Amino acid sequence: MTASSSQRIIADHPEEECAVFGIYDTAGDAARMTYFGLQALQHRGQESAGIAVDDGASIQVKKDLGLVTEVFSEQNLTRLEGVAAIGHCRYSTSGEVGSVQSAHPFVVQVGSTRVALAHNGTLTNPGELVDYLENAHVHEEIHTDSEAAAYIIAHETEKSGSVTAGIAAAMQIMRGAYAMVVIAQGALYAFRDPHGIRPLTAGKLPGGGWAVASETCGLDIVGADELRDVGPGEVIRLNKEGMTVTQGTAPAHRSTCIFEYVYFARPDSVIDGRTVYQSRVSMGRMLAHEAPAQADLVLGVPDSGVPGALGFSQVSGIPFADGIVKNRYTHRTFIEPTQALRRQGIRIKLNPLPSVIAGKRLVVVDDSIVRGNTAKELVQMLRDTGAAEVHLRIICPEVKWPCFYGIDTAARGQLLSANMDVEEARAWLGADSLAFLSEAGLIDAVRGYGPTVDATTDRCTHDGFCLACFNGEYPVR
């Protein structure tokens, strides 16, 4: 596929929610450390995994469809020798069979410049990327926006001789959400779009060297400390000389994805200095203020609904109970390709405990409602198990708009709240009551403010977060 005919391909296959990891490890076991980092980040993508390693002279890559532990063996990890490595795991696109051609990292060559790149996010101007590559006479097969970015960086690096300058030049061309890691010329680079939409943090390794990861839980596992977020528009270079920070492009209005706090990130991660677990507890506390309920027990839908349920219980005084058991050996249900499989997947994943819930009025706290399948199936299961009442409480506002920045939230037609108001949704889900956290309540929760009942504040629109899937106000064209 040449650059010109790849335009349609890039536009039709945006990258979904993913994880990136990178390491410059003077101890020389960069690939194995990346393998551990990716395992900690596996919740961000289960479709494919890949690692690329730079030994100073050449770049090797191993990637395939599957979980990190399925793609890598002792044998192939041992073969990936080098001090600098990057890794990636990729989220499945809804309804599509995964392709290894979309697996990261992408290793590309322009002239004598070889670059490996992994990306979390989505570039929203594929046409301009293709035009650039055409004008630059780069006529390679290109399958995704991320691969186009790798070629642009390689081309600009070949022109200037500097990878940092090559990345900075590419940042002038790329639009949308990107948290990227690159290895080239024996060094590791990490950079983030000017709005800081997707998270990216760097840290220092105990034995010398550096690591970067989409979430801090990926850095914890390799023992990194002195953590530092990669700032919006920054380019960080990590090599034997240490860390060099440059502003690749001017920072724009900060728009960090608030959905990371609601659902995507692991609770033990800290994003831009804010703890995901505490944010979720606070969301539940806010919700108890905004939408109280008369009930006997508060349950959380495991895993991401549980901290919110604890918060709801703390403020309402209704006891928290462990009433829904989760099967740990299933993938997230959202990634199942068809509606029927998704519903079956929910039954495999969640099972209510009759001894806890029979005859009880329940508040059930979940992180979000997207298509509504999980909530509908769950309400039915709870009723079948003998619940007297089910009051659904959701720790974010109604998801009404698709995400164009790297999270698969489905098309508008499939989003429950884009098509039904709260009362219609309640009736369709079969719940006794249904309430969503307000935008202001969500922002206050993430910022660590105390519970507030004031949903009229305008803080929510100017506060450094992207909330576009709730309010349609997209920070990037």
Q: Which residues are known catalytic residues? A: 18
Task: List residues near ligand AMP by CB under 6 A.
Answer: 263, 304, 332, 334, 366-375, 407-409
**Which option in ligand SF4, ligand AMP, none does residue 469 bind, with CB closer than 5 to 8 A by kind?**
ligand SF4
Minimum distance from CB of 45 to ligand AMP (Å)?
Answer: 10
Residue-level length of the chain: 477
CA distance to 270, 291, 441, 443, 462, per residue, from 449 (Å): 17, 18, 9, 9, 16
> What x/- string results for residues 395 through 424 when contact with ligand SF4 is judged by CB under 6 A?
--------x-x-x-x---------------
CA distance to 328, 406, 422, per residue, from 299 (Å): 18, 30, 21
Minimum distance from CB of 233 to ligand SF4 (Å)?
Answer: 17
Q: Can you tell me the distance from the alpha carbon of 165 to that of 160, in angstroms, rounded to the nearest whole number? A: 7
- Match 């005919």 to its residue by tokens: 5
Q: Can you tell me the distance from the alpha carbon of 214 to that of 261, in angstroms, rounded to the nearest whole number? A: 13
**Which option in ligand SF4, ligand AMP, none does residue 106 bind, with CB closer than 5 to 8 A by kind?**
none
Minimum distance from CB of 435 to ligand AMP (Å)?
Answer: 15
Helix (H) or strand (E) holding 377: helix 373-384
Minimum distance from CB of 396 to ligand AMP (Å)?
Answer: 9
Minimum distance from CB of 145 to ligand SF4 (Å)?
Answer: 15
Q: Can you tell me the distance from the alpha carbon of 142 to that of 3, in angstroms, rounded to the nearest whole number? A: 6
Q: What is the largest CA-CA distance in the chain?
A: 71
**Which option in ligand AMP, ligand SF4, none does residue 254 bind, with CB closer than 5 to 8 A by kind?**
none
Q: Can you tell me the distance from the alpha carbon of 303 to that of 301, in angstroms, rounded to the nearest whole number? A: 6
Minimum distance from CB of 407 to ligand SF4 (Å)?
Answer: 4
197 is a site residue for ligand SF4 (CB under 6 A): yes
Q: Can you tell me the distance from the alpha carbon of 410 to that of 16, in angstroms, rounded to the nearest whole number? A: 11
Range in contact with ligand SF4 (rule: CB under 6 A) among 27-35, 138-146, 292-300, 463-471: 463-471
Residue from 106, 259, 261, 320 touching ligand SF4 (CB under 6 A): that is: 259
Nearer Cβ to ligand AMP, position 398 or 463?
398
466 is a site residue for ligand SF4 (CB under 6 A): yes
Q: What is the 3-state secondary structure (H, E, C) of 230-292?
A: CCCCEEEEEECCEEEEEECCCCCCCCEECHHHHHHCCCCCEECCEEHHHHHHHHHHHHHHHCC
**Which option in ligand AMP, ligand SF4, none does residue 117 bind, with CB closer than 5 to 8 A by kind?**
none
Nearer Cβ to ligand SF4, position 223 or 464?
464
Q: Can you tell me the distance from the alpha carbon of 232 to that of 244, in angstroms, rounded to the nearest whole number? A: 15
Nearer Cβ to ligand AMP, position 34 or 304?
304
24 is a site residue for ligand SF4 (CB under 6 A): no
Amino acid identity for residue 15 in this structure: E
**Which option in ligand AMP, ligand SF4, none does residue 174 bind, with CB closer than 5 to 8 A by kind?**
none
Q: Can you tell me the distance from the alpha carbon of 214 to that of 192, in angstroms, rounded to the nearest whole number? A: 10
Nearer Cβ to ligand SF4, position 53 or 442?
442
The residue ranges that bind ligand SF4 (CB under 6 A) are 197, 257-259, 403, 405, 407, 409, 466-469
